[in-house]
Chains A and B, each alone.
Chain A
Amino acid sequence: MKDLQRLRTSLKEEVELALNAQIKMEAEASSKYLAMASWCEVNGFLYSAKYFYKQSEEEREHMLKIFHYLADQGVMAYSPEVGAVPHEYPSFRSVFETALQSEINVTHSINRLVSLCRRVEDYATENFLQWFVKEQVEEEINARRALELFDVIGEEGIGRFTIDRNVYKITKLEVE
């Protein structure tokens, strides 16, 4: 008797479902960043807006990365449903606090995925996920650095104006 299950895919069903859940999470992250970009742009923080637009695009790329991985493994990737995301923030600073919290949530989620892969001995997917593990380290560093600017520059006077210009440099510096 043939092993039709294995001929279809190497993925265990629980891994397949968990990766689909991660697709949704990345899509939601993309949507949240877009809302943050919108808030910043409307409130005059144009550099931060640019920073968040870029983050939003990156999150969509993360989503597609998993999407293609699933398709390559012969299973269906589901185009996720994304609900309404918050558009109101009490302050400029709180936007970045939300961003950091959201990245931390994603890091936890990726870690749980890696644990699952080890548990079911799916080393290929674990290997695939290592890219995300590394990416999350970067993402948290950037989000934390942005918040740090509020402390080292201060919000008084032209503080927020200066912070805004420096936020955009966070990712710029990294490229150099």
Chain B
Amino acid sequence: MSLNVSLHELYRTSKGVTYQCDLTNRIVLNFADQVMAFRMADFVLFRRKAERVNLHEMIFNLDDEYDFEVLEAPKSDQKLVLTLCDLVQLRDLLAGTQFTLNLNSMLHEVLYTYSY
């Protein structure tokens, strides 16, 4: 199997793109020129982490530390340093990715992929 066949695009926005790699069972995130790979379970945790950030606080708290949010990727040294705008964009990308994953799961179920 060639590499292109094992890599499936899940969701794309103007700011980034996600893929699923069937060779390594990883979700690959390309956002703001950074590439990260997640196990499925870690992807879910990362998405929730992004969803939990208090946007309201980032907007209205004038303290410097609320200008940026640092999101660490699970089990790696990588982290994303995000402004309010980045964060909204990232959430959009992650939510879209999750949607495709759910849709794919539903398709597998109704098409009886597991029955062969």
Chain A contacts to B: CB under 8 angstroms: 1-8, 13, 74-76
User: Which residue of the partner chain B has the closest CB to A1?
Assistant: B8
Q: Which residues of B contact A6 (CB under 8 A)?
A: 105, 108-109
Chain B residues in the interface with A (C-beta under 8 A) = 8, 20, 22, 25, 27, 40-41, 44-45, 101-102, 104-105, 108-109, 113
Q: Closest Cβ of chain B: how far from A70's Cβ, in Å?
A: 12
Count of chain A to chain B residue pairs whose CB atoms are closer than 8 Å in the complex: 35
A75 — which chain B residues lie within 8 A by C-beta?
Answer: 41, 44
User: Would B104 and A5 count as touching, CB distance under 8 A?
Assistant: yes
Write the nearest CB–CB distance from B72 to chain A, whole angstroms: 16
7 contacts between A and B (CB under 8 A): A1-B104, A3-B108, A4-B20, A6-B109, A7-B25, A8-B40, A75-B41
Given contacts A5-B104, A8-B41, A75-B41, 6 further A-B contacts (CB under 8 A): A3-B105, A4-B40, A6-B105, A6-B108, A7-B40, A74-B41
| Structural contact, B41 and A5, CB atoms closer than 8 A | no
Q: Is A2 a contact of B22 with CB atoms below 8 Å?
A: yes
Which residues in B have their C-beta under 8 angstroms from that of A4? 20, 25, 27, 40, 101
CB distance from A21 to the nearest CB of B (A): 14
A13 to chain B: which residues have CB within 8 Å?
44
In the complex, the answer to whether A1 meets B40 with C-beta atoms within 8 Å is: no
Given contacts A1-B8, A2-B20, A4-B20, contact A76 B41 (CB under 8 A): yes
Q: Which residues on the A side are within 8 Å of B109 (C-beta)? A: 6
Q: Which 10 A-B pairs have the closest CB atoms?
A: A8-B40, A3-B108, A5-B105, A4-B40, A5-B101, A1-B8, A2-B22, A6-B105, A3-B105, A8-B41
CB neighbours of B22 from chain A (8 A) = 1-2
For A2, give its contact among B25, B41, B44, B102 (CB under 8 Å).
Answer: B25
CB-CB under 8 A from B102, the residues of chain A are 5
Q: Which residue of B lies closest to A4 (CB)?
A: B40
| Smallest CB gap from B107: residue in A | A3
Return chain A residues, CB-CB under 8 Å to B27: 4
User: How far, in whole Å, are A5 and B103 apart by their CA atoms in the complex?
Assistant: 10
Give the Cβ gap from A123 to chain B, nearest Cβ, in Å: 14
- Taking CB atoms, residues of chain A closer than 8 Å to B41 are 8, 74-76
Write the chain B residue with the least CB distance to A74: B41
Report the bound CA distance from A4 to B40 in whole Å: 7
Which residue on A lies nearest to B113, using beta carbons? A3
How many angstroms between the C-alpha atoms of A111 and B104 in the bound complex?
31
| Complex Cα gap A7–B102 (Å) | 12
Nearest-CB residue, chain A, relative to B43: A4
**A22–B22 CA distance with the chains assembled, in angstroms:** 35
